[in-house]
Amino acid sequence: MSKIQVDEIVKQSGSTLTLGGPGTAVTLGSGATQTGFGRTGTVDWCTTAKTSPFTAVSGDGFFVNTTSGAITVTLPSSPSPGDIVSLADYANTWHTNSVTICRNGSKLNGVCAGAVLNTQGQSITLIYVDGTRGWKNTMDSTSDVSGNPGFTVATGGTITTSGDFKIHTFTGDGSFVVTNAGTPLGGTDKVSYMVVAGGGGGGGENATTTASSGGGAGGFREGKVSTDPYTASPLAATPCSGLTITGTTTYPITVGGGGTAGPSAAPNDGDGGKGEDSVFSTITSTGGGFGSGKSGTGAPARAGPGGSGGGAKQCNAGGPTGTGAGAGNDPPVAPPQGNPGGKSDAPGPTYRAGGGGGATAAGGNPTCCAPSTGSGGAGATTSINATPTAFGGGGGSGASTYPGQVSPAGAGGAGGGGAGAASPGPGGTAGTVNTGGGGGGGSGKIGPSISAGGAGGSGIVIIRYKFQ
């Protein structure tokens, strides 16, 4: 073997200095270092996969196998411009067990923050540029690695999972705190949501044999991200787009309470209370309208408007019939958040009341001259919480005890609506908590019995998004 010992090699002419020839490999001796050459943007891949934490070496690529657990990769210390490191998901398991990048004192894409690689099949190449930008990802097969995992990250409420989706359920006031909004490359910056307001209380009855009406369901609003595989209700906004969120933002959550039960204390009957609104970001669902308990004098006793309206009570003094129901979807939104309450019987008077409106159907209307009643309108069924569940059922009307016009109590609408009171009975059934169901109406009086309405059920807010 020949050996040349020189202190410097200088080109004789032109601008190119050639070392070696065809079929010749030029290598650095053991322990030698190079400066000024840089690299071509490629690495030498180590084909033995890494299965435990390690420090990367400039110029090398590493297959990282996280089958057995998460792994931390530390970047080289004191890097020089042109240093290069590549990482690749060996077993396609980074979405289950992630890789955490430790900066080792240098910036990562201009930020003094590490990164988490949690996308299945991901591969990245990092090149050290300078002290300002630090390590910069120049080739990334799937996701941004500048401290942004690509998926939504948030806290708040009760958190469960369904496949690749997280579900935040709020049964009371709280905060949805977003620390990363996600990116289209990995997840999305949109969330699916369901916002249900508190249901209205059913009307109470004391003084007469007239049935009192059911409370309307709380407003029901839903938005579904198009890529989310759950089955939404018929009321979900179309096209399916969900709600856009912003990173590092706190969204206050308001869960509306149910309306108060209509009183039956002597000497007067009483209306139920209106349900309270539920709010998430720009989405407000309106509380359910109250069921009517007060008897009219020459005019129908009007029920309350709301997300869904309360049912009407028959006039007690010969006034018009078939009127007085509370309006639904009030104030109006698209798609509608509810339906009107049922009317009193017509042409009457037979002193039967209407059921409260529900998310997908109006409250039931009793009919004249038959033992009919006003049932609560049906709610809406959605699988946003991973299980098909109905919300927003209207309350049923109470039983009428008017001589010759006796009628049974109305059933509560599917989705938490309370049943109306039988006679004699303890009073209207309350709407189910965290469904937005309307309360059932009180029954007509028999002898000394009195019959209060049922309270409305509280609302609920559910938020769902892709997290891996």
Q: What is the mean pLDDT of residues 192-210?
A: 89
Name the band, by pLDDT with cuts 50, 70 and 90, for residue 171: very high
- Do 114 and 216 fall into the same domain? no
Task: For residue 160, tell me if it sits in a domain.
Answer: no
Q: Which of 121, 140, 159 is the last residue of a domain?
A: 140
Last-in-domain residue among 119, 140, 161: 140
Q: Is 1 part of a structural domain of the chain? A: no
Which of 100, 115, 140 represents a domain boundary (last residue)?
A: 140
Residues in Cβ contact with 374 at an 8 Å cutoff, skipping those fewer than 6 apart = 211, 213, 214, 311, 342, 352, 353, 354, 355, 363, 364, 365, 366, 396, 397, 410, 420
CATH code (residue 61): 2.60.120.640
Say if residue 130 is in the same domain as residue 257: no
Q: Which of 17-26, 368-377, 409-418 is the least confident region?
A: 17-26
Mean pLDDT over 388-417 rounds to 91
pLDDT band at 220 (very low <50, low <70, confident <90, very high): very high
Same domain? 265 vs 125 = no
Residues 287 and 401 in one domain: yes
Q: Is residue 175 part of a domain?
A: no
Report if residue 34 sits inside a domain.
no
| 125-168 tens-digit pLDDT | 999 999 999 999 887 665 445 444 568 889 999 999 999 899 99
The answer to whether residue 111 sits within a structural domain is yes
Inform me whether the pLDDT recorded for 449 exceeds 60.
yes
Cβ–Cβ contacts within 10 Å for residue 136, how many?
17
CA dist 260 → 107, 141, 337, 429, 445 (Å): 58, 57, 21, 12, 21
Residue 382 domain-assigned? Answer: yes
Please tell me which residue, 58 or 14, carries the higher pLDDT value. 58
Mean predicted confidence (pLDDT) in 308-336:
79
Record the tokens describing residue 189, joined without a space. Answer: 């910056």
Domain identity same for 381 and 315: yes
The pTM for the full model equals 0.69
Is residue 461 within 8 A of residue 193, CB to CB? The reply is yes
Which of 357, 299, 297, 358 shows the shortest CA–CA distance to 325?
357
- The predicted pLDDT at position 368 comes to 67
Each residue's pLDDT tens digit, 275-321: 999 999 999 999 999 998 876 544 455 789 999 999 988 764 444 55
453 shares its domain with 309: yes
The whole-number pLDDT of residue 93 equals 87
In DSSP notation, 204-223 reads BB-SSSPPPPPPPPPPEEEE
Count how many domains the chain has: 2
Give the mean model confidence (pLDDT) for residues 61-72: 95
Measured torsion, CA atoms of residues 379, 177, 151, 113, in degrees rounded to the nearest 10: 180
Average pLDDT in the chain: 85
| Spatial separation of the C-alpha atoms in residues 457 and 288, rounded to whole Å | 10
pLDDT at 319: 45
The whole-angstrom separation of Cα 338 and Cα 75 is 57
And the tokens for 116?
């988490």
Does position 453 have pLDDT exceeding 60, yes or no? yes
Residues 99 and 205 in one domain: no
How is residue 226 written in tokens? 């198009």
The percentage of residues in the chain with a pLDDT greater than 90, rounded to a whole number, is 54
Considering only CA atoms, which of 299, 327, 291, 325 is closest in space to residue 205? 291
* Residue 213 and residue 108 in one domain: no
Q: CA 73 from chain center: how many Å?
A: 35
Residue bearing the bigger pLDDT, 235 or 321: 235
Q: Is residue 22 part of a domain?
A: no
Same domain flag for 100 and 216? no
Band of the pLDDT at 433, cuts 50, 70, 90? very high
The parent domain of residue 322 ranges over: 193-220+252-463
The pLDDT value recorded for residue 298 is 45
pLDDT for res 324: 78
Residue-wise pLDDT for 252-278, tens only, equals 999 999 999 998 865 556 889 999 999
Nearest to 149 by CA among 116, 121, 188, 120: 116
Same domain, yes or no: 123 and 258: no
User: Does one domain contain both 59 and 124?
Assistant: yes
Same domain, 349 and 455: yes
Confidence of residue 14 (pLDDT cuts 50, 70, 90): confident
- Residue 447 in domain: yes
Determine the average pLDDT of the residues in 165-174. 97
> Closest by alpha carbon to 467, among 240, 193, 188, 198?
188
Condensed to tens digits (0 to 9), the pLDDT of residues 32-49 reads: 656 555 555 678 999 999
